């Protein structure tokens, strides 16, 4: 999976806020693109990029990057720390998420064909939509056409319910012909099996993150401020094996990476905590692969008959497009395609999953019982039996 052989005629990518290379890996798979430069400040992520993209120039700080190389695509999965519900929600002006301003400083003096931005769904609503207004206004100031679309990673076949904003901009091409050319209805519930359900064990008062035959969004940090995987209930498993958490390599697979992709970061943090954060913050590879495939094809067709004018100051919809002259809402679903689905228990390795600890289980069960949430009584019973099993083992 290394960039061992580079096709010099293939599209070139400059990856800002590169993380562990999810966008770059997906674009390589989808359109044959190769990374010409990567920029990432966090040492564990740098270790992964150096391992997986050997020989690619790696800059350590976007604040000191003077210019972009001559590339066709610039990617910017800028930090969501100040935008996500699991983060500080300080907004686009926060210390981390505000780093995206350096992208626009660099774009002022460069001419890529495409710019790709990826970030959390909460960006659409946070602080009255100020983050989106900033991004859109900056693209318009620099004479870019823009479009964005909220997508669910499950459309790529991975059993992870992960909703992310994909934004595409260009001075010379129409991003609508890429983002809106593929559109299908969300599949019915019959697509999913009933043998496993994912949930957030860190929640339990206001929500569960409940997901049938899938895990809820993998996160770099939880509401408790710690990198932690969601849990899953295996319906027919015996106590002690029914309430479990996936392994780190399961998480890599659930994000579309080869298992072991982040091995180079193993020495950072305790018990692989840095690797969990890296995987939780990454872009699902299949999403970037779909985008790359679309970018590599002739412009697609899309129907603008359903577009509605988007007045400034109104809420940001799930999909929209525009330029310096006008903004429009577009009726796209979160499902560009329906790729073959990998069921949750066919992806995770049950032999390596860890039983949820007694402390975590008891805390979650207490919150669940005190809440007014609606949930499957068999699920609550399984959690209770798991706590009793773990307590007996401790005793």
Catalytic pick among 16, 80, 151, 287: 80
Which 3 state secondary structure label does DSSP give 48?
Answer: helix
d(CA 92, CA 94): 5
Exposed / middle / buried, residue 61 (Cβ in 10 Å: 0-12, 13-18, 19+): exposed
Report CA-CA distances (Å) from 30 to 23, 24, 154, 171, 297.
10, 10, 17, 22, 10
Report CA-CA distances (Å) from 44 to 20, 113, 265, 268.
9, 30, 5, 6
Query: Around Cβ 325, how many Cβ atoms within 10 Å?
Result: 6
Q: Residues, the chain, total?
A: 395
d(CA 155, CA 287): 8
Nearest to 220 by CA among 352, 81, 48: 81
Cα of 292 vs its chain's centroid, Å: 16
The pair phi, psi for residue 71, each rounded to 5°, is: -135, 165
Could you confirm whether 80 is annotated as catalytic? yes
Exposed / middle / buried, residue 381 (Cβ in 10 Å: 0-12, 13-18, 19+): exposed
d(CA 229, CA 277): 10
Which amino acids are annotated catalytic? 80
């Amino acid at each position: 999976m290394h960039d061992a052989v580079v096709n010099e005629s293939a599209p070139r990518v400059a990856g800002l806020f590169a993380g562990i290379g999810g966008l770059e890996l997906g674009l390589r798979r989808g359109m044959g693109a190769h990374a010409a430069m990567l920029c990432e400040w966090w040492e564990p992520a740098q270790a992964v990029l150096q391992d997986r993209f050997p020989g690619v120039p790696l800059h350590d700080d976007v604040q000191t990057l003077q210019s972009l190389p001559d590339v066709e695509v610039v990617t910017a999965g800028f930090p969501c720390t100040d935008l996500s519900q699991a983060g500080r929600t300080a907004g686009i002006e926060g210390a981390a998420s505000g780093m995206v301003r350096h992208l626009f400083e660099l774009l002022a003096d460069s001419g890529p064909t495409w710019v790709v931005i990826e970030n959390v769904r909460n960006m659409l609503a946070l602080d009255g939509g100020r983050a989106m207004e900033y991004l859109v206004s900056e693209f318009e100031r620099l004479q870019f056409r823009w479009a964005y679309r909220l997508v669910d990673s499950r459309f790529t076949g991975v059993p992870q319910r992960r909703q992310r904003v994909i934004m595409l901009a260009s001075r010379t091409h129409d991003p609508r012909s890429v983002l809106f050319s593929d559109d299908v209805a969300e599949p019915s519930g019959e697509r999913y099996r009933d043998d496993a359900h994912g949930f957030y064990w860190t929640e339990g008062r206001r929500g569960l993150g409940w997901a049938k035959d899938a895990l809820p969004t993998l996160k770099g940090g939880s509401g408790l401020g710690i990198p932690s995987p969601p849990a899953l209930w295996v319906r027919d498993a015996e106590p002690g094996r029914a309430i479990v958490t996936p392994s780190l390599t399961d998480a890599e697979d659930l994000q579309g990476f080869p298992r072991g992709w982040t091995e180079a970061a193993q020495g950072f943090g305790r018990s692989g905590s840095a690797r969990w954060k890296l995987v939780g913050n990454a872009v699902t590879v299949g999403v970037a692969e779909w985008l790359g495939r679309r970018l590599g094809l002739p412009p697609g067709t899309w129907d603008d008959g359903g577009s509605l004018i988007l007045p400034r100051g109104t809420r940001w919809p799930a999909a929209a497009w525009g330029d310096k002259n006008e903004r429009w809402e577009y009726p796209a679903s979160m499902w560009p395609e329906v790729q073959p689905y990998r069921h949750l228990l066919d992806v995770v390795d049950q032999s390596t999953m860890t039983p949820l600890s007694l402390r975590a289980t008891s805390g979650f069960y207490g919150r669940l019982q005190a809440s007014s949430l609606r949930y499957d009584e068999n699920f609550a019973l399984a959690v209770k039996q798991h706590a009793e099993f773990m307590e007996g083992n401790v005793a």
